[in-house]
Structure 1
């Protein structure tokens, strides 16, 4: 009975989580006159597969996808590299002010991202980086959460590994990338997934910094379906569906490492 109750609860939670996605897929296949009806229908009649083609043609989504892939890829690569170096220093190196500095970094996690918009905007404007890739990318090259996640993982590793590397005369940077990195693949993939998904979904900062459609990303491109005269919900849901596919693929590929990285880092 206990297992039955647990599985029943899990099924209810799963349906609750999948509900918005099911409704999104359903709406993406509906004709325009069936989207906002007095009696909502789950299954469209008839099925309008042409909504996907119309949504793709309504805006330069190929450009949006390239921008999102480039921005998310660069931010993820720098975040993993710089975050791992900082995490290794906090986990395995001794230096003055180590603990206060780490606590100060953790304190920044409590600062809402919206609060950073104005100082970041002023900095980017004074550097003349408005409507440029560097203006969109540079302020978010390092994540404190990545540093914290990797530090927790590095602390869980046996000290003998680092002592052996030190006896062999390895520099800390070589120890990190040649010895620690191959042994900590789950946390690298976990941090990379979190950063990539967060960067891919970034909307507000791109809208604030960029005034050029050539720099717009996928989330910004979805605004094309909303205008002063209303919103084309069926095409909007179709666009949201194919814009979600890359994230689903990336997560499914790294799902096993993602779960392992979270559990082994001490974050439950």
Structure 2
């Protein structure tokens, strides 16, 4: 497929069969429109925790911290939109709970048609996928214009949590502690922790840890960069500290995680 072409992926493909790719707080370089067709779970988006279920559409702009946990029974699709394309995306992340049957069918039909076009891989597939992406973007814009999807007023804890999540995305590899981020936001570490816990169910330190852990696991399984260089990139004082960090959060060493991922890829 042409590089930078829009893609339709199932949630299983988006996670590449590894739950942590969706359940850990992280951000991506591309935009996502996720359509849940079965299951219930939890969503972290824009610094707030949400319950989600069937016929929910999740709009995740590029570089927006989020996490999705639908469990093993959850099913859905994602439209992956590379940043810089002509497809218009909302600047703010949104969760849309779709109740109108016609709107449900319209989005499902568009995603299925785009999926068939992608699989056929015919001439001009990139232009065709862009066209489907535009139609899906129009669907999103129309839904955003409906009164039922007007965003709820956010309280102070949610606003602070969202600001912190934006900082985590921008600075997770900058050797800044949670307390450093709190100081930059003009609040105490205790206040930031309470706000994040109230808004997301996780502490501020948890969110920062998850983002670092996601990056570490991603680099271990997608590159051949030595673990000690990954540790240095993520601000760890030593390779030994990095190894202890990974063992604590995954019950495996960096080397073991890399080998396990390689074995999984061979089986797939």
TM-score after normalising by structure 2: 0.22
Which structure: larger Rg? 1
RCO higher in 1 or 2 (8 Å CA, sep ≥ 6)? Answer: 1
Q: Which has the higher strand share?
A: 2
Q: Which has the higher helix share?
A: 1
